[in-house]
Amino acid sequence: MIKAITFDLWNTLICVKDYTSLRIEHLVELLDKQNASPDEKVIRQVYFSIQGLWRPDSAGQYRFISVKERVEMILKKLGIEIKQGPKLAIVRDFEEVILKDPPSLLDGVKFTLESLYQKYPLGLVSDSGFAPGRILRKILQSLGVLKFFDCTVFSDEVGYNKPNSLMFNQALKLLKVQPKETIHVGDLLETDIAGAKLAGMLSIWINQRKKRSNHRSFHPDYKINRLPELLPMLKKLTFPS
């Protein structure tokens, strides 16, 4: 019997938006004020060079790399040294730029969450990237859906990214449910589905692009194409033995 449901955030509940150009534009402006203004093309190359930091470290973990660490790496690669104050201003700008043009909910999300939250405890399990949990909660609040969640778990607060099971275990602890009683819904096989399986949870893959899943480690228990399909599915779920 399902007693709780957890959700991924990006491309499960809200649309992914790319804020790269805005962050680079603001970084150029801030560095100009410090009399350190390398070529924008070089800045862009360095910015993208740190994007693979979510991959596992030497211990096979997925440690969260804070925005402050990322900014320090960018400045180091650019060969730029600035004072702590301006550096923290860059960090804050990187984190908060998303608030200037927030992402929107995907179709049917609010109706689906509203239909579920009186029947099940709901949790959110999301990687943070450049936007930390404190910012993402503000966005969810403005979209009118934060109230539906009994817990919100973000990688910047846990210290690890999905698929590390610590992310899912934190949600299970806060929801006070067992893994086998909980189902996780997400769009990424290698983080959502793999992480849920590592934590002993059931999983539903939102396969919006109708791709084939042949990878054993990432094989979901169930598949849907859009989040509202979760409602009729929960009524007729059969559980794997």
List C-alpha distances in Å: 209 to 38, 217, 219, 225: 40, 20, 16, 8
Q: What mean pLDDT, rounded, does the chain reach?
A: 91
Q: Determine the average pLDDT of the residues in 142-148.
A: 98
Is pLDDT larger for residue 215 or for residue 231? 231
In the predicted structure, residue 38 carries a pLDDT above the cut 80: no
List C-alpha distances in Å: 15 to 9, 104, 140, 158, 234: 9, 6, 12, 23, 24
Check residue 117 and give its pLDDT. Answer: 95
Instruction: Name the band, by pLDDT with cuts 50, 70 and 90, for residue 241.
Output: very low
41-73 pLDDT per residue, tens: 899 999 988 876 666 776 678 899 999 999 999
pTM of this prediction? 0.92
